[in-house]
Amino acid sequence: MTDECLFCRIAEGRTDTKLMFEDDTLVVFKDIHPHAPVHLLVVPKKHIRSVNDLGQEDGPIVAHLISVARDMARQQGIDRSGYKLLFNVESGGGQVIFHLHLHLLGGFG
C-alpha cells in the first residue's frame, strides 16, 4: 500500500509533514485543513483501510490510538475544556483518506 497511500508515506517519514509524536505503533500530526483550533490526526503505522477492516488482532492498536489522543489533548491544554474523537468510516461517513485515522478536535472555547 505504501506508495499509493498518503498516510503510509507520512507515517514512514517520506513527506515533509512535521510529526508531533511518534512511537512504534503510530504517528500524530496536524490536519492540513483544520476544522477546530486544535485538529490533530492520530494514525497507525499499519495500513488498515477503515474501522470496517479492523481485525481482532488490531484491538491493541485502537486502544493505543485513543490513549495517545487523550495524551495529546492534555498536552494541547484542551483536556479539561473538552474535545471530540472521531473516526469517519467510508465515503458515506466522510472518509476521504482510506488509511485509518482518529481525528482529535478541540479548543472550541
Interface contacts to ligand AMP, rule CB under 6 A: 6, 17, 29, 31-33, 41, 88, 94-97
Burial 75-99 (b: 16+ CB within 10 A, else e): ebebeeeebeeebbeeeeeebeebb
Question: With respect to ligand AMP, which residue has the nearer C-beta, 55 or 96?
Answer: 96
Q: How far is the CB of 84 from ligand AMP (least distance, A)?
A: 12
* Residue closest to 51 by CA, chosen among 87, 10, 94: 87
Q: What is the dihedral of CA 92, 93, 95, 101, to 10 degrees?
A: -160
Catalytic residue check, 47: no
**DSSP designation for 60:** H
Catalytic residue among 33, 35, 39, 101: 101
Q: Which is nearer to ligand AMP, 1 or 6 (CB)?
A: 6
Tell me which DSSP letter residue 4 carries: T
Site residues (CB under 5 A) for Zn ion? Answer: 1, 5, 7-8, 47, 99
CB of 86 to Zn ion, least distance (A): 19
User: Which residues are identified as catalytic?
Assistant: 101
